[in-house]
Amino acid sequence: MGGFFTGRTLADVARGLRSGDESPAGLLAGALESVDPDLNAFVTLDPEGAGEAARRAGEELAAGYDRGPLHGVPVAVKDIIDVAGLPTGMGSAHFNGYVAEADALCVTMLRDAGAVIVGKTGTHEFAYGGTGDVSVNGPVRNPHDRERMPGGSSSGSGVAVAAGMVPLAIGTDTGGSVRIPAAFCGIAGFKPPYGAIPTDGVFPLSVSFDHVGVMAASAADCALAYRALTGPAEAAPSPVDESAPHGRVAWIEPLEIDPDVERAVRALFPDAPAERIDLPGIRTVFRAIQDAEAYDVHAERVAEAPGLFQPPTLERLERASRTPGWRYLRALRERERFAAEIAGLLDRYDVLAMPTLPITAPKIGETAGPLGPHVPTVVSLTCPWNVLGLPALSVPAGTVHGLPVGAQLVTRRGAESLLFDTAEHLAP
């Protein structure tokens, strides 16, 4: 399953470009040659636009005008994010023929950093689902087992990186949509704190929880890309315990999980004391707010052209339409309560560690497993950090049953460095 970028870090790539061993045009050609249509990662490729961007990046670098570590690097962008002149398909028949007029703000940031946008990657329809197999473009396939889901909703971005087609992809994450495909596909995915990367020009799912995030082979690559987009690292966040070299880590006990997945991830944090939080309670808050906000986005489409949705999406939206207003109000209050509780935990610990997902990637088309329906299962450990807007990183944590699993690290807002430092020092 190796592609052109398999085994190369962003730092390697950047060095190669500056030493003259690589060129932006060469990297782009490698990316395009690595695209495997059977995996269905890309819904749109833009060889012309990307070629022009690569040519310009090459000229700038040759002239000594250096935009930093993403300059000349091929990047893939999820297909709910507008890229001027390209279709934004949302994985939905509703947007058949729609072409974006302007770049989303995060795309402008990518271009300012010199990145070369290769194309648009497949998404779970309207990003409303974590499995990545519901789309008018058909399912994206997991490169570790093509009969299995890649996870979603940023499915194509995850697969494009995992298969070495690009060294970096942009996704969005409302309940886990960057971290879930990262974990199922064996790469790293970082959801920054809420608002850290602007969502302007990104199609909304649930405005209270929508985040833009980055996906790359490793935590170090995610850190490099995140800082290239948002500026230098925050002023050295202090760990709770200065004697703990990379901050004090708590293990958050997953309540419903495949025990093999739990064992594999727990092994990376042998000394972390276990803590419990009300994960199901937070998921209830997540669901009430997400569903009310999602239906607000889609009410007219459901009323006027329900048949254009994929059936599972329509069914979810119809259920979402019935979320009562009073439950939404209570969820807002509960969210405040949970925020205070987790803030207390993060006064005692620097990093909360847990599996990213309680299962490994299910077969495409399968809707439930031993833990119940996949849709709620896949967000059970990721959505709390959208509800609270905290930075969360998923990093590869080996394999279980021959499939990748991810470890998830969460910290205080502004202490993102602690996540990357902790990931770097994990037992391999």
Instruction: Give residues in contact with a second copy (CB under 8 A).
Output: 288, 291-293, 295-296, 299, 320-330
**DSSP E strand boundaries for 168-304:** 168-173, 188-191, 211-216, 249-252, 274-275
Q: Do 221 and 248 meet the contact criterion of CB atoms below 8 Å apart?
A: no
Q: What minimum distance in Å lies between the beta carbon of 320 and a second copy?
A: 8
Distances (CA, A) of 167 to 67, 78, 178, 332: 17, 14, 15, 38
Q: Which is nearer to a second copy, 78 or 298 (CB)?
A: 298
* 272, amino acid identity: A
Is residue 243 part of the annotated active site? The answer reads no
Task: Indicate the SS3 state at residue 291.
Answer: helix
Q: What minimum distance in Å lies between the beta carbon of 390 and a second copy?
A: 24
**Residue 416: closest CA among 232, 265, 269:** 232
Backbone angles phi, psi at 60, to 5 degrees: -60, -45
Q: What minimum distance in Å lies between the beta carbon of 204 and a second copy?
A: 12
Distances (CA, A) of 76 to 47, 102, 261: 12, 17, 29
Q: What minimum distance in Å lies between the beta carbon of 319 and a second copy?
A: 11
Q: Name the one residue in this structure whose structure tokens are 């209050």.
A: 333
Backbone angles phi, psi at 38, to 5 degrees: -65, -30
282/338 Cα distance (integer angstroms) = 7
Task: Indicate the SS3 state at residue 60.
Answer: helix
User: Which one is catalytic: 23, 78, 155, 157?
Assistant: 78
Q: Which is nearer to a second copy, 46 or 291 (CB)?
A: 291
Q: What minimum distance in Å lies between the beta carbon of 209 and a second copy?
A: 14
User: Which one is catalytic: 92, 153, 155, 394?
Assistant: 153
Task: Indicate the SS3 state at residue 141.
Answer: coil
Q: Decide: residue 373, CB within 10 A, 0-12 exposed, 13-18 middle, 19+ buried.
A: exposed
Q: Which is nearer to a second copy, 46 or 334 (CB)?
A: 334
Q: Which is nearer to a second copy, 322 or 401 (CB)?
A: 322
369/400 Cα distance (integer angstroms) = 16
Is residue 78 part of the annotated active site? The answer reads yes
21/8 Cα distance (integer angstroms) = 13
Q: Which is nearer to a second copy, 212 or 320 (CB)?
A: 320
Q: Which is nearer to a second copy, 326 or 370 (CB)?
A: 326
Is residue 321 part of the annotated active site? The answer reads no
Cβ neighbours around 124 below 10 Å, total:
34
Q: What minimum distance in Å lies between the beta carbon of 293 and a second copy?
A: 7
263/380 Cα distance (integer angstroms) = 18
User: Which one is catalytic: 92, 157, 177, 206?
Assistant: 177
Q: What minimum distance in Å lies between the beta carbon of 104 and a second copy?
A: 22
Q: Which is nearer to a second copy, 235 or 303 (CB)?
A: 303
65/58 Cα distance (integer angstroms) = 10
Q: Do 132 and 171 meet the contact criterion of CB atoms below 8 Å apart?
A: no
Report the catalytic residues: 78, 153, 177
